[in-house]
Chains A and B, each alone.
Chain A
Amino acid sequence: MKRLKRIALSAFAAVLTFAIMLPSNSVFAQSSASLSIVPRKNYVIEAGKSINDTLTIRNLDAERSLELTLRVVDFTFKDDSGTPLLMLDEDAPQTTWSLKPYIDVPKSVTIGPKASQTLNMSVAIPEGHGAGALYSAIVYSSGAPEGGNVGLSASGVTLAFVNVPGKVDEKLTLEKFGAYHTAQSGRDAGYVFFATDEPQTIGYTLKNEGNVTEAPVGSITIKSIFGKEYVINNINPNSSLALIGQTRTFTPCIKLKSEEVDFNGARAEATTCTSPGLWPGIYTATLTMFYGQNGNNTNEVNSTAIFWYFPWWSILLLIAITGVIIWAIYKITRRFRRSSYQMKSRQSLRRK
């Protein structure tokens, strides 16, 4: 019995010692939170056909393994930009455009430090499925830490889009068009009719009432009152989409600055809006836009908008010039009136 007690105590002591030697926070057992994924997948799949593809995930952490759980969730639009609103709740209702029933991805993956892994995935569209767009998101979640007041967890998302070809229902309605200021600290994004800051983008807002995502193309010509032209040759340079039911605002730059950059060992073209060099004045913008899926009608939308650009210095200058003109008119009028009065006085004196 005593021996049994000794064994039990020794075992307890060993467990206790081991437990004390372990790091005090279980967070140290957590997965890496450094990952590289593909942000978007686009497919065209006919009804009754399927595709097999791969998802490549890299663990950038040099010391820890990356443990990810994968799940497919639906998404819609968050606002009038290209931000997806992920429906992360387990009991979120399935959308009418959901790809979830047709996509198959692994449930989890563990990737060693500084390694990458290619996962097989497939999408199968059933026979008889109607033409249109289907989309969902693949969410890769690293584990949540334990301990501390604020725990950190990282997730990555791949947006997956499938177009089922055929006769689709397409309807884009132009809701707004004009000069546009992007959001800045202390300034909300929005259309501007009278601008004191130089507009660098032209916006157009489209409501998608069809059953397919749309990526419009076309051009915008901006003309000053003196005839100077600025042309935006590609009104959708990133091939951005208006999702089903979305009112989407596209904001192409009036003048685009392109730059070749090295991103993680690969060349990429980065673009930013730059000052188009507008002079103060009134401008007319003309939009010519096309949209339409393969095999469907190409629809054309045309619109014209006017905006005023007067920076503060030009307003002050205008006020000063107007003041000088009024003053000059007053002086001239006064002189004219005085000379006319003097002439009349002289004439009446002569008559007398």
Chain B
Amino acid sequence: MGYQRKHRFEAHVAPWQHVWIEGLLVFIFAILMFVTPASAAMRFQERSLYMKSTLPDVVTSYTISFRYMSPTPIGSVEMLFCIDPIPYHDCEVPQGLDVSQAVLSDQLGEIGFSIMSKTTNRVVLSRIPGVVTNPSSSYTLKGIKNPSKTDQSFSVRLKSHSSADASGPEVDFGSVKGQISEGIVIETQVPPMLIFCVAERVDDNCVSTNENFYANMGQLDSETTLVAQSQMAVGTNATGGFVITANGVSMSAGTTVIDTPSVPTQSNPGSNQFGINLVENTSPAVGTNPQGDWANAVPSPNYSIPNHYMYIPGDVIAYSPNVSLMKKFTVSYIVNASAGLKAGVYGTTITYIASGRF
């Protein structure tokens, strides 16, 4: 009886299985259809911006070039100066920029334009509407005051219209990108700086250290793990952040070099092993977790696993992707020796290199 009921159910449900799969596929395709954005129709091609001077706050000339794409008659070209190049986003005026004194000093290709209106960040070129016969064109505007900020690019949003006053539907559109470069002397801005110190013990702000730049680890034997620790503090106001790499060969005596794990590995007394990490460990008990509230600066993942050590010369051991207040890292060192390790005085110098990021 039970078997018959099950059989009836399966016979009833079986055709539905395919319907569900088909339905699911239709649903996924529908999602893909709906989420795919519509592509733009006509963009100006070969767009470029040449700024005669790229220094901040300097009055200079801009040459804006592009190729008209639509065969529609053109009566005006709007140039809108914004930080964001996306035409449908709100326009934030680049700090310091002023195009209200701009003068159209030269034009090539499609000509006959004059400045119809101008504001701080908008210029409209106008002419009697006419068919485009020389699509590759350029327009030079003199008397433009450059933006002030060197750490932010800006854009000129371009639109052409059939009307002579930049009204009505746009014909072609597109943006060009500009960037202000640093002057050599910047007196109004705080220059970026990278602060870095290393010693056995350091203050959070690098103002003092215990002035010890080495560690004696003791006598190597095959049953004990020797440990040591040092500290470094680092911080930067550079938007690119920093990286710290550890450089130098493993502990060595003459030609004998102690092996270093290339992946995070637990301490293994009785084997030849030299490794470091930047967190608090219990096996063996050594090290401290990074100190400092700022979350941006972190140890590299491979060097932040408690009780796991490794060392690859040149590896990034700590970094920050952007501005970071001072943070203190404690580096733990472990060294193990096998019974067969050649006798000698083993030592190394680890050079910690702090650099900006690009």
Contact = CB atoms under 8 A, between A and B. Distances in A.
Interface of A: 25, 27-28, 30, 32-40, 42-44, 51-53, 56, 58, 60-64, 78, 81-86, 88, 137, 139, 141, 144-159, 161, 163, 183-188, 213, 215, 217-219, 223, 225, 231, 233-234, 237-241, 243, 261, 263-264, 266-272, 282, 284, 286, 288, 290-292, 294-298, 300, 302, 304, 306, 330, 333-334, 337
Nearest to A84: B355
Interface stretch (B68-76, B100-108, B159-167, B321-329): B321-329
A62 B207 CA distance: 7
Contacts of A282: 31, 35
B187 interface: no
Contact of A297 (B48, B301, B352): B48
Nearest to A239: B151
Given A144-B349, A157-B354, A225 B305 contact: no
| Most B Cβ at <10 Å: residue of A137, A152, A263 | A152
B357 A84 contact: yes
The 9 residue pairs across chains A and B that have the minimum distance between CB atoms: A39-B356, A148-B214, A157-B355, A34-B197, A82-B357, A151-B349, A268-B237, A295-B50, A284-B35
Contact of A34 (B35, B175, B209, B251): B209
8 contacts: A32-B209, A37-B196, A39-B355, A148-B214, A149-B348, A295-B48, A298-B176, A334-B9
Interface in B53-109: 54, 63, 83-86, 89
Interface stretch (B114-122, B127-135, B240-248): B240-248
Interface in B210-228: 211-217, 226, 228
A154 B206 CA distance: 12
B238 A141 contact: no
Nearest to B346: A149
Contacts of A30: 213
Contacts of A36: 193-196, 206
B194 A156 contact: yes
B176 A185 contact: no
Given A268-B237, A290-B177, A149 B215 contact: yes
B332 to A, nearest CB: 11
Given A82-B358, A237-B239, A290-B155, A145 B213 contact: yes
A213 B358 CA distance: 10
A82 to B, nearest CB: 4
A298 B177 contact: yes
Contacts, number: 318
By size class, the interface of chain B is 35 or more
A38 to B, nearest CB: 6
Given A153-B349, A157-B355, 10 more contacts: A39-B356, A61-B208, A149-B335, A152-B213, A157-B356, A183-B300, A270-B322, A270-B324, A282-B31, A304-B37
Interface of B: 8-9, 12-13, 31-32, 34-37, 39, 43, 46-51, 54, 63, 83-86, 89, 150-153, 155, 174-179, 181-182, 184, 190-200, 202, 205-209, 211-217, 226, 228, 230, 232, 235-243, 245, 247, 251, 294-296, 300-301, 304-305, 314, 316, 319, 321-325, 333, 335, 346-358
B358 A152 contact: no
A146 to B, nearest CB: 8
- A interface SS class: strand
A86 B355 contact: yes
Most interface-central of B9, B12, B35, B174 (chain A CB within 10 A): B35
A38 B192 contact: yes
Contact of A35 (B49, B197, B208): B197
Interface centre among A61, A86, A148 (most CB of B within 10 A): A148
Contacts of A37: 193-194, 196
B211 A239 contact: no
B217 A56 contact: no
B193 A150 contact: no
B59 to A, nearest CB: 17
Q: Which of A156, A188, A304 has the most CB atoms of chain B within a 10 A radius of its CB? A: A156
B323 A40 contact: no
Contacts of A296: 48
A34 B206 contact: yes
B305 A83 contact: no
B357 A261 contact: no
A5 B141 CA distance: 92
A150 B243 CA distance: 22
Nearest to B212: A27
Given A36-B193, A154-B354, A185-B305, A263 B177 contact: no
B353 A240 contact: no
Contacts of B191: 38, 56
Contacts of B54: 44, 294
